Structure 1
Amino acid sequence: MRSFILSVALVASATPAAAHYVAVPVAKSAMKVPLGGVIWQCGDTGCTAGATTSRPETVCASFARKMGAVSAFAAGGRDFDAAALEKCNARAKS
């Protein structure tokens, strides 16, 4: 759990203030990904995206379907707990 919080904190501190969503995919990627009406910017420490009207759970599931399982996810500064991450990762690509 401590590494989860540290991962999200590191990604959040290295991202623009406009970032609303922060995801740390298990498989690292460095690219821009259009997904669900927002552009995800991915780098060595994770991915960030601006706000959208979708629910955070929907955004996480959509991200996991496209990018694979996440080790951390936050929306509006609120970290997903283990149960929410498990539900999100159930949608991850195989």
Structure 2
Amino acid sequence: MIRLAPLAAAAFCIATAATPALVQSAHYSATPADAPKKASFITQTTVWKCKDGTCVAPKSPMNDKVMCQRVVQRVGALTAFSAGDTAFDAEALAACNERAK
């Protein structure tokens, strides 16, 4: 039993360290107008995690405009969307929101 303690401690450290890594590796950020019903969702092959009214996801080979459209199809209209350090302007966001469910 005592032999398992170091293994359990290592597993706990790895599990808790993975959560901040996801946020740090976020490339996309989306702010839905209405809070999403689920804490996570998938757009094609990209996993999105939502917390405190903002959803984030790692970089994808998908075009940024298409990624935005996929998000609004899952969570509805957005009030903000960014890819990397570039936030969508009002015109790009409005075009994206046209695909909202």
TM-score by length of 1: 0.79
| Ranges of 4+ aligned residues in structure 1 off by more than 4 Å | none
Alignment partner of 1:21 is 2:28: yes
From 51, 54, 67, the counterpart of 1:59: 67
Deviation, 1:36, is 2.2
Structure with higher helix content? 2
Q: What is the aligned-residue identity percentage?
A: 34
Q: Secondary structure in 2 aligned to 1:20?
A: strand
Tell me how far apart the structure 2 counterparts of residues 51 and 64 of structure 1 sit (CA, whole Å): 17
Which of these two proteins has the greater Rg computed from alpha carbons? 2
* Corresponding residue pairs, total: 79
Moved more, 36-45 or 50-59: 36-45
RMSD after superposition: 1.2
TM-score by length of 2: 0.74
Contact 1:25 1:67 in 2 (8 A): yes
Contiguous gaps of at least 5 residues in structure 2: 1-21
Contact 1:40 1:47 in 2 (8 A): yes
Tell me how far apart the structure 2 counterparts of residues 64 and 91 of structure 1 sit (CA, whole Å): 6
1:1-80 matched pairs, under 5 angstroms: 16-29=23-36, 30-80=38-88
Contiguous gaps of at least 5 residues in structure 1: 1-14
Deviation, 1:45, is 3.0
